[in-house]
Amino acid sequence: MQNRSALRRCLVTLPAGLLALFLGGCQAVLFHAVNAASSDGGLSEHRNIEFDPSHHLRLDMYAPRDARHLPVVVFFYGGSWQDGKRQWYHWMGETLARHGLVVAISDYRKYPQVRMDGFMTDAANAVAWVHAHAADYGGDPKVLFLMGHSAGAHIGALLATDKRWLSSVGMKPQDLAGFIGLAGPYDFLPLTDPAFVGMFGATPQAQAHSQPVNFVDGDEPPMLLLQGTSDDRVKPRNARSLADRLHSLGEPVQIHLYSDVGHARLLLSFSRPWRGDCTALRDTLNFIRDQTSLVVRRDDGEGTAKLTAMSCGP
């Protein structure tokens, strides 16, 4: 307990330069500390659920205790499609569940073990599993949101725009209540990094299939795009380009640009130590609440719990 309290005190005073150093090469250390600053009291957690036995892929579920008919969020973490672990994001599951959501945080295979087809298939399988089992954890599969940061936002956006991925598991983008993207790469051609060429393809045609903006056709779920203006890893033009494309077809989309917020700070603004950095958490909860209310109006009356249990406060 003393170690946990010391980590919390350290995080509150952690200077921005040290944070950047951690993100540059010690993500595991940083996320261990952020997890230590979170609290799972009052929540129901189910970890290490195997959703794809053939590839030994697992996910973790978080929910308020006694959850019933709550909105569901499937969160995909980032890491340039090459790094990251679901265990690093316990704090994100705790944060969202504490605000009245049922949350799944899923693993997926990464490059160079697989190319785009592999990690997109894994993501689609995770969404299908959560859709089929959400009610077992107090969630409502009719109110299912995808959410992701960085590469995870790209994965979620591609599931929400390119129909082939969800159709492979018997679903479609219209089955989603919404998509929330944090600092996502949605329109990032041309590719010059050899790893990106390796995972997405060497030809213009192959690379075009990796761009969510290319699949917007007027059939997408509502989207919330969150982006820091000081992000030097995923440029703000990605969010603007996707938002412009959606707007051109009359699709419901909101874009929030946060001044002086960078790539990591946007993500960490959902955590306790950095929650005051910007309003991304509040904007996300308001979006989920608004989209859930639209589903409730079409519901048979069971949906009232979805809204009353949600908290949009800090």
- pLDDT tens track for 175-214: 999 999 999 999 999 999 999 999 999 999 999 999 999 9
Residue 29 is predicted with a pLDDT of 74
pLDDT band at 307 (very low <50, low <70, confident <90, very high): low
> 71 exposed, middle or buried (CB, 10 Å; 0-12, 13-18, 19+)?
buried
Is there a contact between 187 and 237 (Cβ–Cβ < 8 Å)? Answer: yes
Going by CATH, does the domain composed of 44-308 fall within 3.40.50.1820? yes
Tens digit of pLDDT for each residue in 147-169?
Answer: 999 999 999 999 999 999 999 99
Closest by alpha carbon to 42, among 281, 309, 268? Answer: 309
> Which of these ranges, 5-9, 194-198, 260-264, has the smallest mean pLDDT?
5-9
pLDDT band at 9 (very low <50, low <70, confident <90, very high): very low
- Name the more confident of 17 and 222: 222
Closest by alpha carbon to 306, among 190, 135, 122? Answer: 135
- Name the more confident of 98 and 5: 98
pLDDT band at 275 (very low <50, low <70, confident <90, very high): confident
pLDDT of 239 > 70? The answer is yes
Tens digit of pLDDT for each residue in 87-114?
Answer: 999 999 999 999 999 999 999 999 999 9
Residue 26 is predicted with a pLDDT of 67
Tens digit of pLDDT for each residue in 289-305?
Answer: 999 999 888 775 554 55
pLDDT band at 2 (very low <50, low <70, confident <90, very high): very low
- Name the more confident of 232 and 28: 232
Residue 28 is predicted with a pLDDT of 75
Domain ranges (residues) in the chain? 1-37, 44-308
> Which of these ranges, 107-116, 149-158, 242-251, 304-313, has the smallest mean pLDDT?
304-313
Helix axes 16-25, 27-36, angle to 10 degrees: 120
Is there a contact between 234 and 184 (Cβ–Cβ < 8 Å)? Answer: yes
pLDDT of 35 > 90? The answer is no
pLDDT of 47 > 70? The answer is yes
pLDDT of 40 > 90? The answer is no
Q: What is the mean pLDDT of the chain?
A: 90
Residue 188 is predicted with a pLDDT of 98
pLDDT band at 24 (very low <50, low <70, confident <90, very high): low
Closest by alpha carbon to 182, among 224, 146, 223, 226? Answer: 226
pLDDT band at 4 (very low <50, low <70, confident <90, very high): very low
pLDDT band at 31 (very low <50, low <70, confident <90, very high): confident
Three-point CA angle 3, 25, 62, nearest 5°:
55
pLDDT band at 12 (very low <50, low <70, confident <90, very high): very low
Closest by alpha carbon to 129, among 138, 112, 141, 119? Answer: 141
